[in-house]
Amino acid sequence: MPTMLDVAKRAGVAPSTVSYAINGTRPISEETRQRIFAVMDELGYRPHALARGLASKRSRIIALHFPVSERGLGITELEFITSAADAATENGYNLVVWPSELHDQNKLRQLTQQGLVDGMIVMEVCLKDERIDLLREIDFPFSMIGRCADAEDIGYVDIDFAKTLQDTINYLAELGHKHIAFLNQSQEIFDSGYGPAVRAQAGFEQAVRQTGLEGVTCFCHATPRAGHEVFNDLLGRCPNLTAIVAMNDRAIPGIMQAVADRGWRIPKDLSLVAIISSAHIAEMMMPPLTTADAPTTELGRLGAELLIRQLEEQEKSVAHVLLPCHFVSRGSSGPCYRNA
């Protein structure tokens, strides 16, 4: 492997000149620039990433902190990773994934202090999140996919839950539904302050109030079995129910089963809308689900770009981006016929 010195010698210039030519950190005469680049690919030279990082104090590596949660891994998460990695690559960065328990502060501290990564993208953020506290405390650059409670001074991208729920409820209201349930994630997740669970809940309540509908909420573990049980509860509590908004993909098959068990049909007897979901999930179901798809690739990409921008700019600019879900009407929702 040739080094920069080899290139410099061969091109008859100082090593630093090669460095400046590569980084564009300083004007170089077109002539020598050409010569240097010619030599570079004559020798097949590649800058050594570690050496560069050590000298410049910037590794051009960013980390994606990837907590493994109760909810388990979904397609959504995968798309965060790949789109964030893509964006990183396009900007000359590498992306390391750092999967770990949510609460392992030590591991986190280690990663941030070994000089390997310039910054970090944090996902699966809770309103009150230990990781955020730590990162703030040690003043380590990061961005969030999601957002914690007091996030004014931090860059983030998140889903616009208020709008998503408002849109969804409006849609159902226009179809004539008056009694709508919201199927949230589990009580434990909600209580832990997991952003989406809390914000979607608030959005639902707000939207329902504003639209003058009756709304009931239930929490549900991420399994078909739990969905099945919860549906029957729900009907007990609200016999006039004609529509369900579910933010819990894994419970949905159970809901659908329970609906079928009762001799009902979707969407005739019940409309079902999955939010923060994905087309792939939706199309696996029968009928295919009406969904508000999470803008996963945008979230991942922006999460990375926000961080990188912050890393490259002198004054720390904090951007806050809220993205709407993409609403797609498929077969699981329709006009309300019951108690019309």
DSSP string over 130-162: HHHHHHHHTT--EEEES--SS-TTSEEEEE-HH
Q: What distance lies between CA 162 and its chain's CA centroid?
A: 16
Out of 42, 283, 317, 339, the residue judged to bind a second copy by CB under 8 A: 283
Q: Does 268 bind a second copy (CB under 8 A)?
A: no
Q: Give the nearest distance from C-beta 123 to a second copy in angstroms.
A: 13
From residue 62 to residue 101, the character string flagging contacts with a second copy as x (rule: CB under 8 A) and all else as - is ----x-x---xxxx-xxx-xx--xx--x----xxxxxxx-
> Which of DNA, a second copy, none is residue 14 near (CB under 5 to 8 Å by kind)?
DNA
For residues 173 and 294, which CB has a smaller minimum distance to a second copy in the complex? 294
Q: Judged by CB, which is closer to DNA: 1, or 340?
A: 1
In this structure, are strands 119-123 and 94-100 parallel, antiparallel, or unpaired? Answer: unpaired
Instruction: Verify binding: residue 12, a second copy, rule CB under 8 A.
Output: no
- Only one of the segments 31-39, 125-133, 210-218, 250-258 lies at the binding site for a second copy (rule: CB under 8 A); that segment is 250-258
243 within 8 A of 275, measured Cβ to Cβ: no
Q: What angle do CA 20, 24, 27 make, to 5 degrees?
A: 80
List Cα–Cα distances, 281 to 74, 222, 244, 330, in angstroms. Answer: 10, 14, 17, 12
Q: Choose which of 9, 28, 136, 238 interacts with DNA (CB under 7 A).
A: 28
Cβ atoms < 10 Å from Cβ of 89: 12
Q: Which is nearer to a second copy, 23 or 240 (CB)?
A: 23
Are 227 and 186 a contacting pair, CB within 8 Å?
no
Binding mask 42-61 for DNA (x = CB under 7 A): ---xxxx--xx-xxxx----
126 binds a second copy (CB under 8 A): no
Q: Does 38 bind DNA (CB under 7 A)?
A: no
Reply yes or no: is the peptide bond before residue 253 cis, omega within 30 of 0.
no
Of the pair 166, 296, the CB lying nearest a second copy is at 296
205 forms part of the interface with a second copy (CB under 8 A): no
- The reply to whether 149 sits near DNA by the rule CB under 7 A is no
Tokens for 210?
Answer: 């504003």
Smallest distance from DNA to CB 56, Å: 4
What the block records as the tokens of 134 is 């730590």
Vertex 197, ends 191 and 198: CA angle to 5°? Answer: 70
CA 203, 205, 211, 216 torsion: positive or negative?
positive
Q: Which helix (H) or strand (E) holds 95?
A: strand 94-100
Residue 285 contact, options a second copy, DNA, none, Cβ 5-8 Å cut-off depending on partner type = a second copy
Among 4, 198, 230, 251, binds DNA (CB under 7 A): 4
**Between 74 and 324, whose beta carbon lies closer to a second copy?**
74
